[in-house]
Amino acid sequence: MDHSLIIGAGPTAVQTAVLAGKVWRGDISIACRDSIGSRQLKRYLYEHHHTLKVEGKDGHSLSGKVTISHFYEGFHQVEDRYSTIILCTPSDSYEEILNALEVQKRKRVKTVILLSPGLGANQRISNLVNDENMEVISLSNYYAATKFKEDSCIAFTKSVKKRIYAASNTEGPGLDKVRLLLEYANIDVVVKNHPIEAECRNITTYVHPPFFINDFSLNETLSDTKSLKSLYKLYPEGPVTPLAISEMVKLWKELSILVERLGGEPINLLQFLHDDNYPVKEEALSRSDIEGFSGFETTKQEYLLYIRYASLLIDPFSVPDENGRYFEFSRVPYPQVSHRESGEWVMPRIPMEDYLKLMDIRSLGHESGTNMPLTNHFIQRFEQRVTDWQSQTGRTIKGFCKGVEAREVPS
């Protein structure tokens, strides 16, 4: 019997456990690091007879329950009985977790699935496991939008992606398992030839650094005052400026060179934003401009991207209210630095996780001999601003240690 081990204690892990329990045969177990979140999940499982629950908008196919066979708080007691491991944690934690699991010694493990890997994660994990019979699969991104309900470990999934890209480091049955899992939720699974081609199809890699690692956004993120700005509005209500759009184009081109050097085919940024994320009306962007984006001169590329974000200040496909107002799509509040009861200051995942991904990308560039000047610039900008904030406030951000490449993302 094939048993599955889900790594993580967050809503993504709960949703994946429920979905796997519906689709795959065998036991579903969870393992995670000791944290506030893991202790809450452990208590919830104890109180609810080891059953996890997911609710969803309109009762979609991701909703349901699963009985967890084993819950491991820590990795040293995990038995060698699992054929599939799914990592539902930030990409920078993969190696630490798999080393703690001593995955190289596990004879039953046949497939490791990276749910939301950064660029080059598959290559790093393949090198770590060093076993040609162990299949490492990269997905382009997490397949849904899921959060915990307030003061609960019940997960709520409000939307599901229409398409996910997947690729494996070797031929094996793992991709068929992934397709079976996601197609149950009516998600189109597109198999790519090389893991880097799946990993480069995570849109946050291109959008988050230029929008959220700049002075405007970092000031909002690090402010003690509740932010009244929005993540996707035009300046001065948000971070979207011609300069931010220019940096987005430069970053896309820089990463495209890296993807090509690693054997993959880069994305058409505008087409990917439009077709795989959220479209705009054809009156705003023509199909010919979308499909021809990669071949245009830089000025036109920047213009078209600015038009896209201006067109998505509202949801162009929403139904206007009685006053003719459309749903304000771009009004997404800034997550801000927070203080835990333990005394720690925690940077939100946006932009902390984006910073850590950039660190991995810089290492990948160095290993492949690819110059990454803008990636370096984003890293330096983030580090300088956080270092200044720590000096000015006397506080310390958990997981931030300038100049150290291995960092822990706050749980």
Q: Mean pLDDT in the chain? A: 94
Residue owning tokens 């490492």: 136
In angstroms, what CA-CA distances link 105 with 27, 128, 358, 391? 21, 12, 31, 44
Domain definitions of the chain by residue range: 4-199, 203-411
Question: Looking at residues 16-22, what average pLDDT do you find?
Answer: 97
What pLDDT sits at residue 343? 81
What pLDDT sits at residue 411? 32
What pLDDT sits at residue 344? 86
Q: 0.85 cut: is pTM over it?
A: yes
Q: Does residue 304 have a pLDDT over 80?
A: yes
Angle at Cα 364 formed by Cα 359 and Cα 370, nearest 5°?
110
Torsion over CA: 290, 296, 302, 303 (sign) = negative
Compute how many other C-beta atoms are within 10 angstroms of the C-beta atom of residue 339. Answer: 11
User: In sequence order, which residues have a C-beta less than 8 Å from that of residue 146 and are 6 or more positions away?
Assistant: 11, 12, 14, 15, 54, 155, 156, 157, 158
What pLDDT sits at residue 60? 72
Q: Does residue 154 have a pLDDT over 90?
A: yes
**Residue pLDDT, tens place only, 49-71:** 999 999 997 667 899 999 999 99
10 Å CB burial of residue 361 (0-12, 13-18, 19+) is: buried
**Residue pLDDT, tens place only, 97-144:** 999 999 999 999 999 999 999 999 999 999 999 888 899 999 999 999
Question: Residues with catalytic annotation?
Answer: 208
Question: Looking at residues 385-393, what average pLDDT do you find?
Answer: 96
Distance CA 345, CA 395 (A): 7
Q: Does residue 197 have a pLDDT over 90?
A: yes
Q: Does residue 410 have a pLDDT over 70?
A: no
Which CATH superfamily includes the segment(s) 4-199?
NAD(P)-binding Rossmann-like Domain (3.40.50.720)
Under 8 Å between Cβ of 261 and 370: yes
Tokens representing 118?
């950064």
What pLDDT sits at residue 18? 98
Question: Looking at residues 253-264, what average pLDDT do you find?
Answer: 97
Tokens representing 298?
């830089």
Tokens representing 323?
């006053």
Angle at Cα 210 formed by Cα 209 and Cα 214, nearest 5°?
90
Lowest pLDDT segment from 151-155, 310-314, 396-400:
396-400
Q: Please report which helix (H) or strand (E) contains residue 11, including its range.
A: helix 11-23
What pLDDT sits at residue 404? 46
Under 8 Å between Cβ of 13 and 7: yes
What pLDDT sits at residue 342? 76
Compute how many other C-beta atoms are within 10 angstroms of the C-beta atom of residue 404. Answer: 9
